[in-house]
Structure 1
Amino acid sequence: MPRDLPGFYWDAERNRYFPITTAPRSQSRANPPPAPAQVPSPRKRKTTTNSNPSSKPDESRSTRPGRSIGTRFPSAGGMARVARSTRETRFADTPLGHHEPIPALAGSISAFGVGSARQYLGDTGGWLYSRTAIAYPGSEDTTEWMPWTAEFCLAPNCEVSAICTTSTPNGTRCVAASFGPKTKICIQDADAAERMSLLSLSTVYDVRCASLFRSSLLLGAARGVAYLSDLETSSSVRHLPTEGDVFAVAQKDTLVYAGTRNGSILRFDTRLAATSKSPGQLVTESIVSWASRNQTSPASTANFVYPTLDGSSLVVGYMDGRLGMMDTRFLRPHAPPIVVYSGHVGSVSTRLGITLDPTETFLFAGGADCRLRGWSVRTGTRLLAPSRGSPFSESTLFSTPLLALEFEDGEDLLPVLWTVEGGVGAVWRWRLGGSDG
């Protein structure tokens, strides 16, 4: 029903209000104009005080509900900024972590993976290693890891180039892939090591990276992406062609992202059939707006892609050290990033670990200068600590670059970051923001 407005009437046929003076007689009699308000005569203001102590004070100047005088509460955005700044300071002051040397392996460490109760290592000799955790409820550090044991040789003299884990309704699944002229894949139930299967893919080679999402698997290989839609029901491979060799892969629901050797980042929708004429949708290139100072230099290889959980952003990285975040809602070729994470030292010959924490609040990267750096994903602010014991201090140097960064599964408010030094065979454990490693 239309509202009754003094001095106006509602015309249903014309769907609007009109002055009551222009209404038909029947309408004007039904809605007579309001009587003029009576203005009280002015009175002299009394200057004497109220002698009745029981009388209430004048409430005409009382504060309205929801408003205050002299007090201003912080807004939700301001409180979020304060919380974020406090968290950044706490993470930056993380003390020295727990250092654990790795026993002699068949080769140097080439891949690392972390599950809820099991960890995996792969070496350049093709061997896969694992260890399990023993929980001790009630203690400050609730888990203790058993020694590393060799499981089997995935491919002799072919390095294990990628290890990834994911949670499933039945537990945790781990997939390890080898690099070579003929790709071999190990699929294992992390909660029951005896449940394991091996796949040999003759049409896929030079696998450098992998991404596991639920039961689907992506393999970044030579000249394209190998997509296995369901590891539980089929081993058939769908090839997604790219403009060059793939060094980074990631998936978000039905979307697949691939970073290639020539710096292009391609996006595919697995619901659509890929053809040679239209292999996918180009997301961005690194050769124009966000290139090095020398515009004539070749494009750098895209070696990191990470779509955020809400799907609105894509964090990308390149071998020349550039890290940034793209807005996937306004993507176009040659688009610059909306946030830049400065200070990272890249490498064209050494594999470097890059990851985001489970809440996607911070970005961490191991540099070719043997340092570990962190940034706020939202603002690009660098995590810096004056203390020498913090891993984010400029004075903290590792023996070799960190080839892998992985977060431990769990719901702890203080996330646990695992870092691997491949050259010396050592694993570091950091409880970010905690009082001890």
Structure 2
Amino acid sequence: MPKEIPGFYYDEEKNRYFPVKGPIPGSNSTRKQPSSASSMPATDATSGRCRPNGSSISTLVQARELDGNALHLRTGKKWTCHFETEILNNQVSQPQVWSYDETDHVAEGALEIIPINMITPEGETQIPALLAGSIHGLLSFYVVGKAGEHLVYGVKSMSSRVWPQNGESESEKWAKPPVPLWRIPGAFHRLSSDISRIRSPRKPYSVTSTPCSTASYTLITTLGSDRFGGSVFVLNPVDPFDPHSRNSYLGVVHNVASFNYTIWTADCSSKKNQAVVGTNRGAALVDLENGKVSWVFHSGSDVLAQQFELSGNGVLCGLRNGAILTVDVREGPGASSARLRKHLIPCTPSNKNDRSSTRKWFKINGNIHPTSTTYMPKSVSSLLSLQLYDQYFLASSMDGSIKLYDQRLLGRGPLQSYEGHVNTHTHIQLGVDPSEKFVVSGGEDHSLRVWNIRSGKLLFEKKVFSSYPLTLCTQTDEGSTQERGSCMQYLHEQGNCWGSWHGSRGGLFYTRWC
């Protein structure tokens, strides 16, 4: 199988690579351009499959990046499709969902999986730990999987299956036991206010990567209150973790920086020991070694979602007014507002030529790219960049919209939309599977949904939660730890599956997609 090279495509007949710039060899150089204003991949309403609706180079490149070397082209009344894709879609459409007892109000603020080293009878072993943050400032620790049996003072959370119900699905025939979850009694911390974000630094994906080592730190932020602002904390793990200790704890929590503003969100850089926080004033970089704060932009609209680019040079910021900005953080501007560039940004694309009303424009002071700005219909709820194609990112807003964008072509609008999500005002997170083929989310209607990222097809939709899930992280199921997707991924003993953890006021839920 020829290796994919960015900017080139492989011609099987000529047995060589050609650049994507200019006409494709052997094609008609005078071919007619598509009449449509947009050359994005179109979606067939009945099949949900993605197909090119034009013959421009940008369309072919996007289709190749989304669908691989084999494109979905329409021939007569039939579609060509990938057998493997259809099998995966069928498997994902039959998930299993469990709820866990005594986990109420522990994970509605933040949720993340980190790898830790634990002493077992077989020696020092790397296992996954689930960190849950509540809106009351409580940080709780859980050991996931059979490794929890080694905890002398661990408390096992009893699970009950909520989907499929008896007789509802063929998956009854191959249903596997739920993932064990063990709470570590002494391993918790009480922080100053509601926990708003837990993040571990993610590494660029490599198909040849080996299981990752224990994370050097985990970032934790608090929201703040009416008396004081939010804070930035770092959890430094204990290595190795002793499961026989009565006063067990997984690490030491240090306060790195404090703000006079609300901290809604945060993310870690995979390149440097720094974090970016989103506040009600704008976004700021925080040096996690010395606590130095550098503002990267100021705005009158709250920053509700953030995502570092894999290069570490830029940050995607989703605002309450629906704008998604790309902020360049390489120059390291100082904390003074006078040193930040001033921009006038339209609140919506339709208002960009209307300067008569100040209500339709807002000011940004920072090193941003005005042309690299797009807009969601309502407040941005979640941002999630893809690692396999680092120019693509998913975004959701508080009107139920979920869209896929290409940072190189933001002016043309989204590449794909995902219908059916229910959200009106809630900060609900998105998640993707480790192979980045599916996007999953809960909704305000207490339903769980999963879509095929490439086609936009809704594969599963059922009401399975007792209350709507606010937090989400995904994982794989094959026996070791890797860093992929929206959180620290791991593979455990259950087989070739992937799963997602959902945190709500009603407790923790686990979904196995296989």
Q: TM-score range by the shorter chain?
A: 0.5 to 0.7
2:497 and 2:278 mapped to 1: Cα distance? Answer: 32
**Equivalent residue for 1:97?**
97
1:76 and 1:403 mapped to 2: Cα distance? Answer: 37
Q: Give the alignment's Cα RMSD to 1 decimal.
A: 2.8
1:248 aligns with 2:291: no
2:253 and 2:467 mapped to 1: Cα distance? Answer: 34
2:465 and 2:177 mapped to 1: Cα distance? Answer: 25
Query: Is the partner of 1:329 in helix, strand or coil?
Result: helix
**Equivalent residue for 1:219?**
277
1:318 aligns with 2:397: yes
Instruction: Summarize the alignment of residues 245-324 of structure 1 with structure 2, pairs less than 5 Å apart.
Output: 245-252=302-309, 253=311, 254-274=313-333, 275-277=340-342, 278-282=366-370, 283-286=372-375, 291=377, 300-309=378-387, 310-324=389-403
Query: Is the partner of 2:200 in helix, strand or coil?
Result: strand
Change (3 A) 1:247 1:189: same
Task: Letter of the 1:196 partner, please give it.
Answer: V
CA deviations over 1:370-398 (Å, ceiling 9, x no partner):
111111111111113xxxxxxx33xx342
Once the 2 structures are TM-superposed, how far is the Cα of residue 80 of structure 1 from its aligned partner?
A: 6.8
Query: Is the partner of 1:208 in helix, strand or coil?
Result: strand
Unpaired runs of at least 5, structure 1: 1-74, 292-299, 385-391
1:364 aligns with 2:452: no
Contact 2:201 2:268 in 1 (8 A): yes
Instruction: Summarize the alignment of residues 180-259 of structure 1 with structure 2, pairs less than 5 Å apart.
Output: 180=224, 181-190=228-237, 192=239, 193=249, 195-214=251-270, 215-229=273-287, 231=288, 233-243=289-299, 244-252=301-309, 253=311, 254-259=313-318
Contact 2:222 2:230 in 1 (8 A): yes
**Equivalent residue for 1:343?**
420
**Alignment equivalent of 1:179, drawn from 191, 199, 223:** 223
Query: Is the partner of 1:189 in helix, strand or coil?
Result: strand
2:367 and 2:421 mapped to 1: Cα distance? Answer: 32
Task: Letter of the 1:261 partner, please give it.
Answer: R
2:222 and 2:236 mapped to 1: Cα distance? Answer: 18
Change (3 A) 1:143 1:342: closer
Instruction: Summarize the alignment of residues 34-49 of structure 1 with structure 2, pairs less than 5 Å apart.
Output: none
Query: Is the partner of 2:87 in helix, strand or coil?
Result: helix
**Equivalent residue for 1:146?**
182
Query: Is the partner of 1:250 in helix, strand or coil?
Result: strand
Task: Letter of the 2:131 partner, please give it.
Answer: Y
Report the TM-score when normalising by structure 2.
0.58
Aligned residue pair count: 326
1:83 and 1:406 mapped to 2: Cα distance? Answer: 25
Query: Is the partner of 1:345 in helix, strand or coil?
Result: coil
1:194 and 1:368 mapped to 2: Cα distance? Answer: 33
1:265 and 1:103 mapped to 2: Cα distance? Answer: 34
1:124 and 1:136 mapped to 2: Cα distance? Answer: 28
CA deviations over 1:21-51 (Å, ceiling 9, x no partner):
xxxxxxxxxxxxxxxxxxxxxxxxxxxxxxx
Contact 1:113 1:119 in 2 (8 A): yes
Task: Letter of the 1:146 partner, please give it.
Answer: W
Task: Letter of the 2:369 partner, please give it.
Answer: Q
2:451 and 2:298 mapped to 1: Cα distance? Answer: 31
1:104 and 1:331 mapped to 2: Cα distance? Answer: 40
Once the 2 structures are TM-superposed, how far is the Cα of residue 136 of structure 1 from its aligned partner?
A: 5.3
2:298 and 2:396 mapped to 1: Cα distance? Answer: 18
1:86 and 1:170 mapped to 2: Cα distance? Answer: 33
Query: Is the partner of 2:436 in helix, strand or coil?
Result: coil
**Equivalent residue for 2:410?**
331
Change (3 A) 1:202 1:186: closer
1:188 and 1:121 mapped to 2: Cα distance? Answer: 13
**Equivalent residue for 1:413?**
496
Contact 1:182 1:200 in 2 (8 A): no
Once the 2 structures are TM-superposed, how far is the Cα of residue 102 of structure 1 from its aligned partner?
A: 2.7
Change (3 A) 1:145 1:190: farther
Contact 2:236 2:253 in 1 (8 A): no
Query: Is the partner of 1:89 in helix, strand or coil?
Result: helix
CA deviations over 1:182-225 (Å, ceiling 9, x no partner):
32233123454564242253435211112123333221111211
Contact 1:242 1:279 in 2 (8 A): no
**Alignment equivalent of 1:126, drawn from 123, 137, 140:** 137
Contact 1:317 1:323 in 2 (8 A): yes
Contact 2:296 2:332 in 1 (8 A): no
Change (3 A) 1:398 1:132: closer
1:280 and 1:316 mapped to 2: Cα distance? Answer: 19
**Equivalent residue for 2:23?**
none
Once the 2 structures are TM-superposed, how far is the Cα of residue 142 of structure 1 from its aligned partner?
A: 11
Change (3 A) 1:205 1:364: same
Once the 2 structures are TM-superposed, how far is the Cα of residue 179 of structure 1 from its aligned partner?
A: 0.8
1:200 and 1:190 mapped to 2: Cα distance? Answer: 16
Task: Letter of the 1:113 partner, please give it.
Answer: E
Contact 2:131 2:140 in 1 (8 A): yes
2:283 and 2:440 mapped to 1: Cα distance? Answer: 26
Higher mean alpha-carbon deviation, 165-174 vs 241-250, is at 165-174
Contact 1:306 1:315 in 2 (8 A): yes
CA deviations over 1:276-295 (Å, ceiling 9, x no partner):
32531133332xxx64xxxx
**Equivalent residue for 1:109?**
108
Change (3 A) 1:191 1:141: farther
Instruction: Summarize the alignment of residues 40-59 of structure 1 with structure 2, pairs less than 5 Å apart.
Output: none
Query: Is the partner of 1:271 in helix, strand or coil?
Result: coil
2:108 and 2:144 mapped to 1: Cα distance? Answer: 20
Task: Letter of the 1:174 partner, please give it.
Answer: T
Bigger Cα Rg:
1
1:88 and 1:194 mapped to 2: Cα distance? Answer: 38
**Equivalent residue for 1:400?**
467
1:220 and 1:341 mapped to 2: Cα distance? Answer: 26
2:318 and 2:93 mapped to 1: Cα distance? Answer: 30
Unpaired runs of at least 5, structure 2: 1-68, 73-79, 116-127, 149-175, 204-211, 240-248, 334-339, 343-365, 476-488
Give % identity: 20
**Equivalent residue for 2:38?**
none
2:179 and 2:466 mapped to 1: Cα distance? Answer: 27
1:212 and 1:80 mapped to 2: Cα distance? Answer: 38
**Equivalent residue for 1:429?**
510
